[in-house]
Amino acid sequence: MKTFDVIIAGGAMAGGTLALAISQLSHQTLSVAVIEAYQSDNQSHPGFDSRAIALSYGTVETLKTFGIWPHLAGVVTPIKHIHVSDRQHFGMTDIDHNDVDLEALGYVVELADVGNVYSELLSHHENIDVFCPAKVAGIERFQDSVTVSLSNGERVQGQLLVAADGALSTCSELVGLEFTDHDFGQHAIIANVVASELHQGRAFERFTEHGPIAMLPMSDNRLSLVWCVPPEKVHEIMNCADDAFLAELQRMFGWRLGEFKRVGARTSYPLQLRVRDKNISHRFAIVGNAAQTLHPIAGQGFNLGIRDVATLAEEITANDCIGEYRQLARFQRRREEDRHATITLTSSLVHLFSNQWATLSLSRSLGLFTVDNIPQLKAPLLKRTLGIVNR
């Protein structure tokens, strides 16, 4: 049985970032095991249908600290401008990178590229062992250690197990960490589209009577679409012909990008707020979507997870009491305020912008108009959007 300082379940961007951060901050003196179920596809270009995520300015600064950003910088698309509007109402607000004297407000990266980059980076750290493909099959916790049984028959031991294994965290279930959830009554339809106009690094958040529509700029003039709709509309939109899909999207989004010309493969999933009641237990911690899964409105969930990762990496490498209660308790205290504020913000925005009561519709429009014209009100929103948040 191999022994490590830290075991990380999940080698995607949250778990991979944590492993690389621990290695960087400890000068490769701490040993790390990464357990990942899926192998990188090693494709040089993921193609039209690749999924993408937005990295906030704050997340990029964090990745720079851990020496990761230079390896991602060549495969990202900058977000130069963010436009927020409310369909059939006058309120709107704009944020431009020149207004805040930044090269970009954030960056969009395709997950296939992340997989390739992280696989290469992890292989260059001799203190990081990747067990792939493998899943966590069992967890035994002792006073000073934790032992993890893998689906391939191997067993590994460490001082701390970190779950970065996604919203349906197997590790959290095995440990018995309970969660609360809330059904937003919406499904997200995910696809890539191309419009007749160049996106020019513009991102859009368009609130409609059914839910928000988000567009993120990607390479080759593609846009990553997240379209939130009520459950009763999912089957119709998922199964209609491409022409009908694009026509309905055009009707709901408008013409700020010209005419929508092409749509790729579509996927959908129900939108729920899922929050683990605690993000630590004995010799155990959780980060990213395993700790909290948010509505995609305003793109806060992933960037909140990276702040979890950064804080935990700092605590793990700050002293030699890896996995002890006092260390994990500090991590929990440091994450409490940001976690609560971000969850509250995203959930409140969903309920505010999905409600068609006349008084709330008017309040939304006035709010967007006011935020756009009063710098003192725009600044706090901008900081949260950019991910400039105290940890």
pLDDT value at residue 88: 57
pLDDT value at residue 259: 98
* Helix H or strand E segment including 331: helix 325-353
Give the C-alpha separation, 206 to 34, whole Å: 38
Give the C-alpha separation, 187 to 373, whole Å: 33
Three-class DSSP labels, 245-256: HHHHHHHHHCCE
Phi and psi at residue 153, to the nearest 5°: 95, -15
Instruction: Tell me the domains of the chain and their CATH numbers.
Output: 2-46+113-180+273-348 (3.50.50.60)
pLDDT value at residue 371: 40
Give the pTM: 0.91
pLDDT value at residue 19: 98
pLDDT value at residue 307: 96
Instruction: Give tens-digit pLDDT for 231-275.
Output: 999 999 999 999 999 999 999 999 999 999 999 999 999 999 999
pLDDT value at residue 203: 95
Q: Which residues of 277-289 are buried (b: 16+ CB within 10 A; e: fewer)?
A: ebbbbebbbbbbb
Q: Is the distance from CB of 274 to CB of 184 less than 8 angstroms?
A: no
Give the C-alpha separation, 29 to 125, whole Å: 11
pLDDT value at residue 376: 44
Residues with pLDDT less than 70, the chain: 41-47, 87-92, 351-382, 384
CB-based burial of residue 41 (10 Å sphere; 0-12 exposed, 13-18 middle, 19+ buried)? exposed
Give the C-alpha separation, 16 to 22, whole Å: 10
What is the rounded (10 degree) CA torsion for 29, 74, 296, 121?
-20
Q: Which residues of 44-71 are buried (b: 16+ CB within 10 A; e: fewer)?
A: eebebebebbbbbbbbbebbeebebbeb
Q: Which of 145, 142, 175, 150 is nearest to 160 (CA)?
A: 145
At 157, list the tokens.
């031991």
At 107, list the tokens.
């960056």
Helix and strand tally (H, E) in the chain?
Answer: 11, 22
